[in-house]
Amino acid sequence: KGRGELMLAVWWGTQADEAFPEAWISDAANVSGPEALANFRSKVYLSPKLWYLRVNVIEAQDLVPSDKGRFPEVYVRATLGSHVQKTRISQSRSINPTWNEDLMFVAAEPFEEPLIL
């Protein structure tokens, strides 16, 4: 385990912000005429809004290896609630390892779970 600083860039938004706004149901399936309109009503489901969280792990800089004779096998572990994802071990054997790897999480509102890297 190591310690370091994290530079984080956040983009806020989605391609389709409203996934489940509401659904329409009918209490009378085959009724025709003006009285049928009274039997249609909106129904709002109390499902949480789901968001995709993409963590793009780019690089680490100026790592201090515990063994001066060799470079460590370095990866990044990200935790959101009970979901854990890891990057592959960096192929660049240096004190500045690189990944440029995306980790995808699904987060639900309200955002109560911290993201730990």
- Residue 12 inside a domain? The answer is no
Phi-psi group of 91: left, alpha or beta (phi > 0 → left; psi -120 to 50 → alpha; rest → beta): alpha
- Residue 9 inside a domain? The answer is no
Tell me the three state secondary structure of residue 25. strand
- Residue 79 inside a domain? The answer is yes
Per the structure, the complete domain to which residue 100 belongs is given by 48-116
- Residue 108 inside a domain? The answer is yes
Tell me the three state secondary structure of residue 113. coil
- Residue 33 inside a domain? The answer is no
pLDDT digits (tens, 9 = 90+) for 33-67: 555 555 544 455 567 778 888 888 999 888 888 78
Which CATH number is 95's domain given?
2.60.40.150
- Residue 19 inside a domain? The answer is no
How many domains does one find in the chain?
Answer: 1
Q: Which residue has the higher pLDDT, 110 or 40?
A: 110
The overall pTM is greater than 0.85: no
pLDDT of residue 25: 40
